[in-house]
């Protein structure tokens, strides 16, 4: 056992633990580095010093005065309590049991439904369908249970490059993501039970009423805001109706905890927005949101993540013999009947070595997310015929699979404080760590989150905003390296750091609520293990660039408010060689900036678009059935014809709720 404080050049480490294994220490260093806003490079340069200290088992005995042992015992108890609390934060019983060993031993029976992917949508659909004990479901998930860092939602960014993530990069595109490493946009998604919702920011929004009116105009007249609201109420209230031995899924919503020290920043931003005529939004679920708020609903409870995978799936699965879940199982192919007219099951690779097949008597339901669902369809022969032909994949159906890829994207704008502001407490402080693990309070359990919805193109009274402003968080002086988390290139981060000098920064991100630019997903090769080709095309449409330009001008207007002027807040000029050849602050300059710094917002949708029978761009019909193929449905974020106005997890949850109702309805005669 050891414990030690080490003061490094620009930050302080506090290490606790009972194992001095190199792996444990290394992991601790990386996590603390990320949450301290320091770089891995700093950490690595200090690592040998730290590891030496960590391995020094006499470190705890360095006191210069003598002791009788009781003080040492108290300290040991504290460390033991924190370590135990850390391990107990999450445990296997929160998640479904893994049916894999039994499947390997006994073989797989036939199921009514086989669901691919236990992310947001897969968890909801599996949970709802198996409320009926006569429906047998197998849920197949490529990942495993989420790690502890998923439970502590404030540490979720440390999962972005972990084994719990699909770590795909977009294809290089000279018109976007030029400021990112290798000039490529990054598309992380969760590869674990809960999928992306196990690594998300946990914000839960529904979107705007008009989003669904637009879906209707696009031919999806069976979908409406009223129905989404109805499903939302049902999802929230489910827990009130449940019987203890028959729990049902439920969306758990609470607002982020704000610490006292957040108030100054919240007031500053809300005062500025109010000066610009924007109202305070008290209810983000009313479907007509324009304004600013710090009251943000999230899937959290007492500092812990409450993903739908936990509340819909984990909570119910162990009481339902009709639901089996297999983890570490990557589906590689959909299987079809001999005449290719019906999906009859899937093939998957279990634990990287066992190739298994399972039969679906009613339907195969794809919930692998907006990148992997189209990938799986393409691998299975459903997609644009030219593309399939080029890879010698036998065609089952010629459909525009993989097209219509879009995402809100986000453009960081960085402002520099002219005077001091209350800084957020460091999550890595010993007190913060103890508060979280012993009581689930403090900075690790809280989040300052302020967001704005504005209409850049019309008066503030319009109820259909086109821009989402998120984050509004402080980067303390000297911590600009934390921008590396966004995959920005080293010279850009270094430029931000030197332009910041010894001042703290305010970061604001602008996301397009209705992006026009579209990309696509294709296969790199016919090998199912190969990562997909992702052509993201962020903000390549002039309309998107103009909205982003208006966002820049809006933030500049914020800088003219009394609230911002009082703190001396001004836009930081981020040095970018190509853009700096243009006159600073000209429209052309900002177009260049957009090309460099408009990056992914982790909200991919639209690649298996829903539409009317007559819609040649549609992959699925309004009941989410793949056109021209029986027994195959998409139930995830890929079906959105257009992205909703706000983060996508809420709408995906409701899409899955509606899918479950439609599936039960379509099969009610056979399954009763
Ligand atoms: C970093 C990050 C932060 C985010 N923050 C927010 C937020 O704060 N609020 C919000 O509303 N939204 C957020 N989102 C977006 C939100 O999480 C997604 O919109 C939502 O999870 C999509 O649900 P899905 O079911 O379509 O896909 P996912 O949740 O991604 O689930 C897909 C599942 O399928 C599995 N899978 C994929 N391929 C296969 C295969 N071949 N075989 C077996 N299994 C497979 C995956 O492992 C995964 O578990 C965030 C996303 C990310 C990545």
> Is the pLDDT at 494 greater than 50, yes or no?
yes
Query: Out of 347-351, 471-475, 595-599, 628-632, which region has the weakest mean confidence (pLDDT)?
Result: 471-475
160 C-beta neighbours (distance < 10 Å), count: 17
Q: Say what the pLDDT of residue 39 is.
A: 32
Beta-sheet pairing, 397-398 with 382-383 = parallel
The mean pLDDT of 233-262, rounded to a whole number, is: 79
Q: Whose CA is nearest to atom 1 of ligand 1?
A: 200
251: nearest Cα among 182, 310, 164, 194:
310
The mean pLDDT of 302-331, rounded to a whole number, is: 95
Q: Say what the pLDDT of residue 245 is.
A: 65
- Write phi, then psi, for 498 (nearest 5 degrees): -75, -35
d(CA 472, CA 465): 18
Q: Say what the pLDDT of residue 116 is.
A: 99
Q: Say what the pLDDT of residue 288 is.
A: 85
Q: Which atom of ligand 1 is nearest to the CA of 372?
A: 38
Q: Say what the pLDDT of residue 583 is.
A: 98
Q: Say what the pLDDT of residue 2 is.
A: 29
**In this structure, what token pair is assigned to residue 429?**
């402080």
> Is the pLDDT at 33 greater than 80, yes or no?
no
Residue 637 CB–ligand 1 contact under 6 Å: yes
Q: Whose CA is nearest to atom 49 of ligand 1?
A: 195
Task: Tell me the angle at which helices 120-129 and 649-666 cross, rounded to the nearest 10 degrees.
Answer: 30
The mean pLDDT of 256-266, rounded to a whole number, is: 87
Mutate-to-test residue for ligand 1 from 195, 296, 650, highest number of ligand atoms within 8 A of CB? 195
Q: Which atom of ligand 1 is nearest to the CA of 650?
A: 11
How remote is the CA of residue 189 from the centroid of ligand 1, in Å? 5
115 vs 12: which has the higher pLDDT: 115
Burial of 537 (0-12, 13-18, 19+ CB in 10 A): buried
Beta-sheet pairing, 291-293 with 451-454 = antiparallel
- Residues 221-232: pLDDT tens digits? 999 999 999 999
Q: Say what the pLDDT of residue 342 is.
A: 98
> Is the pLDDT at 284 greater than 60, yes or no?
yes
d(CA 244, CA 144): 27
Q: Say what the pLDDT of residue 25 is.
A: 39
Domains of the chain: 4-88 (no CATH), 92-174+183-253+304-407+603-666 (3.50.50.60), 259-293+410-514+539-597 (3.30.410.40)
Residue 536 CB–ligand 1 contact under 6 Å: no
> Is the pLDDT at 38 greater than 90, yes or no?
no
How remote is the CA of residue 462 from the centroid of ligand 1, in Å? 31
- Residues 47-92: pLDDT tens digits? 333 334 444 444 455 788 999 999 999 999 999 999 999 999 988 9
3-state secondary structure of 180: strand
Q: Whose CA is nearest to atom 47 of ligand 1?
A: 191
Q: Which atom of ligand 1 is nearest to the CA of 157?
A: 1
Q: Which range has highest mean pLDDT (34-38, 239-243, 604-608)? A: 604-608
Q: In which region does residue 665 sit, left (phi positive, over 0), alpha (psi from -120 to 50) or beta (all else)?
A: alpha
Q: Say what the pLDDT of residue 241 is.
A: 54
> Is the pLDDT at 631 greater than 50, yes or no?
yes
Dihedral sign (CA 161, 167, 173, 177): negative
Residue 406 CB–ligand 1 contact under 6 Å: no
d(CA 538, CA 407): 8
Residue 195 CB–ligand 1 contact under 6 Å: yes
Q: Whose CA is nearest to atom 18 of ligand 1?
A: 649
- Residues 538-582: pLDDT tens digits? 999 999 999 999 999 999 999 999 999 999 999 999 999 999 999
Q: Are 635 and 125 within 8 A, CB to CB?
A: yes
d(CA 186, CA 180): 8
- Write phi, then psi, for 280 (nearest 5 degrees): -85, 130
Q: Are 8 and 46 within 8 A, CB to CB?
A: yes
| pLDDT band per the 50, 70, 90 thresholds, residue 485 | confident
- Residues 321-337: pLDDT tens digits? 999 999 999 999 999 99
| pLDDT band per the 50, 70, 90 thresholds, residue 462 | confident
Q: Say what the pLDDT of residue 215 is.
A: 96
Please name every residue paired with 534 in a beta bridge, in sequence order, or none if there are none: 521
The mean pLDDT of 287-296, rounded to a whole number, is: 92
> Is the pLDDT at 18 greater than 90, yes or no?
no
> Is the pLDDT at 182 greater than 50, yes or no?
yes
* pLDDT, mean over the chain: 89
CA triplet 112, 118, 122: central angle to 5 degrees?
60
CA triplet 350, 354, 356: central angle to 5 degrees?
80
* % pLDDT > 70, the chain: 89
**How would you write 575-588 as a 3-class SS string?**
CCCCHHHCCCCCHH
The mean pLDDT of 591-618, rounded to a whole number, is: 96
Residue 191 CB–ligand 1 contact under 6 Å: yes
Burial of 587 (0-12, 13-18, 19+ CB in 10 A): middle
3-state secondary structure of 649: helix
How remote is the CA of residue 26 from the centroid of ligand 1, in Å? 28
**In this structure, what token pair is assigned to residue 409?**
């994207």
The mean pLDDT of 635-649, rounded to a whole number, is: 98
Query: Out of 369-378, 387-396, 470-479, which region has the weakest mean confidence (pLDDT)?
Result: 470-479
Q: Which atom of ligand 1 is nearest to the CA of 165?
A: 47
- Residues 86-133: pLDDT tens digits? 999 988 999 999 999 999 999 999 999 999 999 999 999 999 999 999
> Is the pLDDT at 16 greater than 70, yes or no?
no
């Amino acid at each position: 056992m050891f414990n030690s404080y080490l003061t490094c050049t620009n930050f302080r480490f506090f290490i606790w633990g009972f194992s001095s294994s190199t792996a444990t220490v290394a992991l601790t260093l990386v996590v603390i580095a990320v949450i301290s806003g320091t770089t891995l490079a700093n950490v690595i340069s200090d690592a040998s010093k730290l590891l030496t200290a960590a391995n020094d088992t006499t470190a705890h005995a360095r006191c210069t005065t003598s002791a009788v042992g009781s003080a040492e015992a108290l300290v040991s108890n504290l460390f033991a309590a924190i370590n135990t609390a850390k391990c107990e934060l999450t445990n296997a019983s929160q998640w479904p049991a893994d049916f894999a060993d039994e499947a390997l031993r006994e073989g797989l029976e036939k199921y009514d439904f086989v669901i691919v992917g236990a992310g947001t949508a897969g968890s909801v659909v599996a949970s709802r369908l198996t409320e009926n004990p006569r429906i047998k479901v197998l849920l197949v998930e490529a990942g495993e249970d989420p790690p502890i860092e998923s439970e502590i939602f404030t540490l979720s960014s440390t999962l972005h490059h972990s084994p719990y993530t699909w770590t795909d990069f977009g294809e290089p595109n000279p018109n976007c993501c030029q400021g990112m490493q290798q000039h490529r946009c990054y598309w992380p998604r969760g590869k674990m039970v809960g999928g992306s919702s196990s690594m998300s920011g946990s914000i839960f929004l529904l979107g705007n009423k008009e989003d669904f009116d637009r879906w209707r105009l696009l031919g999806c007249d069976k979908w409406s805001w009223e129905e989404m609201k109805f499903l939302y109420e049902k999802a929230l209230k489910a827990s009130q109706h449940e019987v203890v031995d028959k729990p049902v899924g439920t969306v758990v919503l609470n607002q982020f905890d704000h610490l006292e020290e957040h108030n100054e920043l919240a007031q500053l931003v809300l005062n500025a927005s109010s000066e610009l005529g924007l109202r305070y939004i008290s209810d983000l679920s009313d479907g007509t949101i324009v304004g600013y708020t710090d009251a943000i609903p999230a899937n959290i409870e007492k500092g812990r993540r409450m993903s739908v995978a936990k509340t819909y799936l984990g909570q119910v699965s162990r009481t339902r013999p009709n639901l089996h879940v297999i983890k570490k199982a990557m589906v590689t192919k959909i299987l079809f009947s001999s005449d290719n007219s019906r999906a009859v099951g899937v093939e998957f690779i279990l634990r990287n070595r066992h190739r298994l097949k399972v039969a679906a008597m009613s339907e195969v339901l794809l919930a692998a997310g907006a990148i992997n669902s189209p990938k799986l369809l393409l691998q299975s022969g459903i997609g644009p015929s030219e593309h399939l032909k080029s890879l010698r994949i036998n065609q089952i159906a010629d459909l525009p699979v993989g097209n219509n890829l879009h995402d809100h994207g986000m453009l960081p704008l960085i402002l520099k404080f002219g005077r001091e502001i209350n800084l957020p407490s460091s999550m890595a402080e010993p007190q913060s760590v103890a508060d979280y693990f012993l009581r689930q309070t403090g900075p690790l359990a809280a989040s300052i989150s302020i967001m704005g919805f504005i209409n850049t193109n019309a008066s503030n009274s319009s109820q259909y905003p086109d821009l989402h402003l998120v984050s509004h968080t402080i980067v303390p002086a000297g911590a600009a390296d934390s921008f590396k988390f966004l995959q920005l290139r080293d010279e850009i981060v270094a430029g931000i750091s030197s332009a910041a000098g010894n001042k703290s920064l305010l970061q604001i991100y602008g996301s397009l609520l209705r992006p026009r630019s579209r990309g696509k997903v294709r296969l790199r090769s016919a090998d199912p293990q190969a990562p997909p080709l992702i052509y993201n095309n962020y903000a390549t449409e002039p309309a998107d660039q103009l909205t982003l330009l208006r966002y820049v001008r809006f933030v500049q207007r914020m800088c003219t408010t009394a609230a911002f002027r009082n703190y001396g807040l001004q836009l930081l000029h981020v040095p970018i060689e190509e853009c700096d050849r243009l006159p600073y602050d000209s429209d052309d300059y900002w177009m260049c900036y957009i090309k460099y710094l408009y990056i992914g917002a982790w909200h991919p949708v639209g690649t298996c678009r829903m539409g009317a029978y007559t819609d040649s761009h549609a992959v699925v019909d309004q009941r989410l059935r793949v056109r021209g193929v029986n027994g195959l449905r998409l139930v995830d974020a890929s079906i959105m014809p257009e992205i909703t106005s706000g983060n996508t997890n809420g709408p995906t949850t409701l899409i899955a709720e509606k899918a479950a109702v439609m599936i039960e309805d379509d099969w009610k005669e056979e399954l009763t």
